Amino acid sequence: MSSALPKVIVALSGGVDSAVAALLLRRAGHPVEGLYMHNWEDDEQGYCSSAQDYQDARAVAAELGIALHRVDLSAQYRDRVFAHFLAEYRAGRTPNPDVLCNREIKFGDCLAHARRLGAEWLATGHYARIVQSPEGPVLLKGVDPAKDQSYFLHAVRRADFSRVLMPIGELHKPVVRELAREAGLPVFAKRDSTGICFIGERPFREFLAQYIARTPGPIETADGQVLGEHQGLAFYTLGQRSGLRLGGQRDGSEAPWYVAAKQTQRNALIVVQEPGHPLLLSRTVHTADINWLTTPPQFPARVTVRLRYRQPDQAAVLSAADEGGVCITSDQPQSAVTPGQSAVFYDADRCLGGGVITHIAL
């Protein structure tokens, strides 16, 4: 006898969150199968954990009694995510590959593969919520504010959310771990993944130097005093305070230094010692083309905005800019706003969409 509920493919990553997503859907009576995405060729040094993650996904599937499929999307990931990642760093910007991976791979190729496997729905372990409304899918923040991942999902095409489930979006992380423990899932205590698979636990600069040539130049204060030499503007991000190797300066303050600006024409890195220095602050931010997850608002529009992950919502006004972008004017000056990162807009818990930051103004 066939189930009255539709078949769901769960993107099993080998972590506790997707494992509990599969557990909850199975308990609800859905026919459930797992799908493991292989997105990166394992490196010889073993920094990428994908081999272990796949074994963990197999163990979860075995415990739940569900089939596990595997799809190799590493070529697509390199072409559409990693190539963009390197191009942005070479241009002096700081991209967020997780945003592009969600749009192009997880809710692009993976979703299409799940449909080819006969699933009506794709489920993931994201801490966010999707509500299907007559106007279209609505993306909401996850209930757990410490784990909300709506920021990383803002660039997904709205139509692609029409067949997506996020079962743990209503839960807090400790509850998810307890559900996994009670069900005997072998990953209940597995550490959360941090960062990006292709970098792993290695030093970021070490990884980037494999693909981007070092182009040394001066490290200067805001008034032009040369303090040292940087290894290349691509290896630094605005607001960074570690890895500058400046230390205290003779006859100067022992306070830490912060990256405040990159002057690409001169290949100069500008640093300051005050976290509230004017060079670190901006009130106006411009973005590229916006991916709207709702009907675009009439401008000017008052919203809240996040200019980086885990930032508390900031009150701001949106106005139209060139080529589908927007100009964001924040009520309060924002620190270390970084081109290449995403500006994501909210109305209370609802994610309205967002776009990549192109430039800022003081």
Same domain, 16 and 86: yes
Q: Is 189 contained in some domain?
A: no
Residue 341 φ/ψ, nearest 5 degrees: -80, 175
Same domain, 92 and 53: yes
Q: How many other CB atoms are there within 10 angstroms of residue 282's CB atom?
A: 20
Of 222, 254, 275, the residue that ends a domain is 275
8 A C-beta contact, residue 332 and residue 326: no
Which residues does residue 200 pair with via DSSP β-bridges, in sequence order? none
Same domain, 164 and 17: yes
Residue 106 φ/ψ, nearest 5 degrees: -65, -45
Q: Which residues contact 121 (CB under 8 A, 6 or more apart)?
A: 6, 7, 8, 9, 30, 114, 163, 164, 165
Number of domains in the chain: 3
The pTM (predicted TM-score) of the whole model is: 0.92
Tell me the two tokens of residue 296. Answer: 């675009």
Distances in Å between the alpha carbon of 194 and those of 72, 197, 251, 316? 22, 8, 40, 30
Same domain, 271 and 283: no
Q: Is 206 contained in some domain?
A: no
Which run of H or of E encompasses 177? helix 173-182
Same domain, 243 and 305: no
Same domain, 40 and 177: yes
Same domain, 117 and 55: yes
Identify the domain containing residue 222 by its residue range: 214-275
Count of alpha carbons within 13 Å of 111, Cβ hemisphere only? Answer: 20
Same domain, 70 and 170: yes
Q: How big is the chain, counted in residues?
A: 362
Q: Which residues are catalytic?
A: 101, 197
Q: Is 163 contained in some domain?
A: yes
Q: What is the CATH number of the domain that holds 270?
A: 2.30.30.280
Same domain, 234 and 313: no
Q: Is 231 contained in some domain?
A: yes
Residue keyed to tokens 């830490």: 256
Q: Is 191 contained in some domain?
A: no
Q: Is 134 contained in some domain?
A: yes
Q: Which residues contact 146 (CB under 8 A, 6 or more apart)?
A: 173
Q: What is the CATH number of the domain that holds 322?
A: 2.40.30.10
Q: What is the pLDDT along the chain (362 residues), one digit of tens a residue?
A: 355 899 999 999 999 999 999 999 999 999 999 999 998 876 555 566 778 899 999 999 999 999 999 999 999 999 999 999 999 999 989 999 999 999 999 999 999 999 999 999 999 999 999 999 999 999 999 999 999 999 999 999 999 999 999 999 999 999 999 999 999 999 999 988 766 666 666 678 888 999 999 999 999 999 999 999 999 999 999 999 888 888 655 556 778 899 999 999 999 999 999 989 999 999 999 999 999 999 999 999 999 999 999 999 999 999 998 878 999 999 999 999 999 999 999 999 999 999 999 999 86
Same domain, 144 and 231: no
Tell me the two tokens of residue 316. Answer: 């701001």
8 A C-beta contact, residue 24 and residue 129: no
Using alpha carbons, select from 97, 127, 111, 101 the residue that is nearest to residue 192: 127
Tell me the two tokens of residue 223. Answer: 């008034």
Q: Is 205 contained in some domain?
A: no
Q: Is 194 contained in some domain?
A: no
Same domain, 284 and 271: no
Same domain, 146 and 254: no
Q: What is the CATH number of the domain that holds 172?
A: 3.40.50.620
